[in-house]
A and B are shown apart, each in its own frame.
Chain A
Amino acid sequence: MQAIILTAGEGARLGSWTANRPKGMIPLGNRPILDYLVSGVVKSGIREINMVVGYGKNSVMSYFGDGSSFGCEINYFFQEELTGTLDAMVIGMEGIKDDFILIPGDNYVSTESFGNMVNVSGPALLSGKANRWSKWGEIELEKGTPKITFDNPEAYGRMHFTGILKINKEMGEQLFKAGGHHIGEALQKLVSKVRFEVVESEYWHNIVYPWDLISGNRLALRDNLLYRHGKIEKNVIIKGDVSIGRGTVIRSGSYLTGPISIGESCDIGPNTVIDSSVSIGDNVMISSFSEISDSIIMQDCNIGSYSSLKGTVIGNGSSVGSHSIAIPITRDILYFDETFSVSDRGAMVGDNCKIGSRAILQGGSILMNNATIGEGEFYNADFQGENI
């Protein structure tokens, strides 16, 4: 059994966070989404992975190398023109011998799913409970036979196709011949001819919009890799699953409630509170008396003292002045000409942004790369920065 992971696409709707990398390389729980997929695939016993790369391919190849540090062999295939998932699949089918699992690389699914699919003898679809309409289509079971539909927009809580399926080489060719905009549409045509078994993923998150990063991060921290290096000073309280990387210092009086993942060479505290579901990348400094919860702080960031960040994403290399706050609210925001209702999200800040001291970022506000917010400013717009 082999696997094909498709990660050539740009993920434009994620804006700033995919400026130089494909969606699958965004860190959630301090690891790229692709890392969870590759680890899950390897755990199921598959040792050969074909990865189709394109947009931001160097970030993928540098991270995974030849796969040996993940216990598998990874071969790379290049999709130069981004003409869709079906074309990508055909490119990745080179060297595929028989059965394979096809995985679009922007899905977060429970790692056991792949093992469950391997255990099914014939072709299989992976389903998951959707929190909103998914482009891959809804799965309806008719006397045990799955049907894929695209017409029901009220999808909350229903069973959807995750885009992940197990087929063999011959069916891959049929799928490509069936055509359509993507795998879901092609499968809709094929599903009446082939008997697929439906395997359910315990949880599933399709990362499409910036506010998906926060919920993705919450899920990803379920698979928090536990490690404890660095230096933890006296009178630091640590509860739950907290990972701390090499060279990191947690200073006295800090209070950490897991799950939390902290990278290498960070400097945190003294007297800093980090609440559950927080991922902190490498080289992050968080000064004293700040409180962070339910957030992703990517690498090389600097967070000033007395700051309060909740439900917030801070991109690589950004700095936040002291006494700045980002507090979640529920509201409608305009994004790519569509209105979305977001709740419990703070600010979503891109790479290399500078946020002055005493700035207030209203919940749901989005800052694109390299944006600057002045001292004491109140910011509540949906977009800012060079990209839009």
Chain B
Amino acid sequence: MSDIYGAPPPEADEPEDTSVYADYVDGTDPVTHRVSLELSRTHLNIVMPDGERILWPLDEVRALKDQAYSDGVVLAQGFDDMARLKVDNPFVAKELRGVAPRLNRAQPVTNWGKIVSWAGGAAASVALIIFVLVPIMADQLATYLPPEGEQALGDATFEQIRGALGRENAAVRLCEDTDGHAAIDAMVARLDPREDLPYPIRIAVLDHELVNAFALPGGRIILFRGLIDEAENPEEVASILAHEIGHVVNRDPTRDALRSAGSIGVLGLLFGDFAGGTVVLLLANQLINAKYSQAAETGADDYAHALMREAGVDPAALGSIFQRLMDEHGDAEGIAAHFASHPQMVNRIEAAQTASEGGQYGLPVITAGQWADMQAMCGDSHQQDDAPEEPGDTGGDKIERRGGGGLGGEN
């Protein structure tokens, strides 16, 4: 380097020893050689103690990545050569970074083809297991599981769900009013599904505002208070109950439980034991089970239609409560439909109306008094609590519903 007058910069020391030293290993034995380095326009010259020169083309030289000592640098020639050159001098390391054009390149991946085909193989085997093998085995095993086993499975799940729906460590309250349960028993007796059932059904009502109901293994059926509030007449509750009984008869909850036991483990395998996997895992399982359930839902609907016709209760009630839910919450279609575990409601409403045609429907499913007992079984306080949460017209709706129940009794 020189200044504009061509004289050497005054601070530059007279070169006593311009050599730069480094440690070199050749990859055949663990002997470190103290070598000196020289730089030509195109090559890094490694001068061995005996004077032998090893030339590394500068555009072949690369630095090892993610090294702890970032002031120094460990160099290699290309990706196959075993020799290494350790340069601990920060100034030299810096200069090399300036002259070696491809110092920081990453090793090219040459086996993408193999990776892609194994990925395909892994995906295919997981898909085969989750969508074919596990469902088939779950279907088979569900019918062989003894009733006591199913009941144990259902009891365990029931407590988990109650806990999960509750808040601040208190499980959701059960509505245990005797008159209300008598009304439910009367409803079940009217529908009379006994000859289809492997075990008696046990119905619990949870004090929760969700408009929902579901069946668990072993004949447990859970109704939410929100559903009873939503129904305009007892036939609608009966239609939902008949639908859930359909699930019990088809042993859907047991299949579901066995299926997720198989598929959750496999999915956990894919995403590893890290927390980011948990969310993906739950979403993926939800997707699989939702898709699976669509056939099961149609099956339960069909059962409900037949059961209600036989009992002389109009299956159209299933359509009418779905219609109202759809008006209020909209149909689940598109991507959302995959995650909602019920098939498109329009189809189900039509199916209920078709099933209703030409039937003879007599007495209401339970008496007006029993219906009032059922509506009051979780206590009245909640109805009042709910009212201020929603706009005024909902309050009016509530009164209409009560009236609707009464009218149902006079029919």
A and B: real partners?
Answer: no
